[in-house]
Amino acid sequence: MIKIKSPAELERMRASGRLAAQLREAVVARVAPGVTTRELDAYAREWLAQHGARSAFLGYRGYPGCICISVNDEVVHGIGGDRQVLMGDLVSLDFGVSYEGYVGDTAKTVLVGALQPESLHLVQTAEAALQAGIAAARPGNHVGDIGHAVEQVARRARMSVVRDFVGHGVGRHLHEDPQVPNYGRPGQGARLRPGMTLAIEPMLNRGGAAVRVLADGWTVVTRDGSLSAHCEHTVAIGPEGPEILTCTAAN
């Protein structure tokens, strides 16, 4: 069952979305050579407490962190730890913020220091795929139109789309109906209606699409060791088209 949010609920989704975006930018600003992923998680924990919000990830199915930090060949669900961020690393950061009963979910991948052309191309393609997916999130379209748009951008750049993890509805809960795969056929899947709120989140690999989970039970890595990027926005389907909820005033 796909929930249609009332105007009052959408207001609350805007508030949690804005906070998630602000946290994202605050943590992104602290990503630098030498910082450990544990320090980034601790900073997010502190920031959330100061803003009267909490992590929607902490405790979710037993997840031990506040945010997810996935480096290089790690795709998603990396847990903060002793690992130091190094020059040239590709760092994917994912934030679920719960504020006054509603969740905002957003992710971004950043390149640390020295410009690696192949990493830059991967990140730019993931961002372009996200924007294409968002553009397809309009009333009358279907869930499959979103995935199709994402997939087309990846294919043109000869990158693969992770199929084992998908986007989703978001609202009172982190994960609601429907699933929003990053692949699909136009006109297939549930019809999009005003008041739906979706997390659209392409995960793109330089190599093959196959992934596996590390022994920690969480960290997802590419099977072939190739680099991976992840970006995500929470989007409301408006009567005229998509509204990105996870943006700050500046972006």
Q: In the set 31, 76, 149, 244, which binds ligand MF3 (CB under 6 A)?
A: 76
Judged by beta carbon, residue 40 or residue 186, the one nearer ligand MF3 is 40
Judged by beta carbon, residue 46 or residue 216, the one nearer ligand MF3 is 216
Binding status of residue 94 toward ligand MF3 by CB under 6 A? yes
Tokens of 150: 């994402």
Tokens of 43: 């900073």
Stretch that binds ligand MF3, among 21-29, 34-42, 59-67, 152-160 (CB under 6 A): 59-67
How far apart are CB 11 and Co ion at their closest, in Å? Answer: 21
Site for ligand MF3 in 154-173 (CB under 6 A): 168
Stretch that binds ligand MF3, among 21-29, 53-61, 145-153, 235-243 (CB under 6 A): 53-61
Tokens of 182: 């990053």
Judged by beta carbon, residue 108 or residue 206, the one nearer ligand MF3 is 108
- Contact yes or no for 166/177 (Cβ under 8 A): no
Binding status of residue 77 toward ligand MF3 by CB under 6 A? yes
Nearest to 15 by CA among 241, 177, 247: 247
Binding status of residue 74 toward ligand MF3 by CB under 6 A? no
- Contact yes or no for 80/216 (Cβ under 8 A): no
Binding status of residue 176 toward ligand MF3 by CB under 6 A? no
Site for ligand MF3 in 13-32 (CB under 6 A): none
CA distance 192 to 196: 7
Percent helix, strand, coil in the chain, to 5, is 30, 25, 45
CA distance 145 to 151: 10
Stretch that binds ligand MF3, among 41-49, 57-65, 139-147, 209-217 (CB under 6 A): 57-65
Judged by beta carbon, residue 9 or residue 94, the one nearer ligand MF3 is 94
Nearest to 232 by CA among 3, 15, 17, 16: 17
Dihedral sign, Cα of residue 52, residue 250, residue 124, residue 243: positive
Judged by beta carbon, residue 15 or residue 34, the one nearer Co ion is 15
How many residues interact with ligand MF3 (rule CB under 6 A)? 14
Bridge partners (DSSP) listed for residue 222: 211
How far apart are CB 166 and ligand MF3 at their closest, in Å? Answer: 9
Judged by beta carbon, residue 43 or residue 57, the one nearer Co ion is 57
CA dihedral (68, 118, 89, 61) in degrees, to 10, reads: 10
Beta pairing class for 233-237 and 68-71: unpaired
Residues that bind Co ion (CB under 5 A): 94, 105, 107, 199, 201, 232
- Contact yes or no for 247/236 (Cβ under 8 A): no
Q: Which residues bind ligand MF3 (CB under 6 A)?
A: 57, 60-61, 63, 68, 76-77, 94, 96, 105, 168, 199, 201, 232
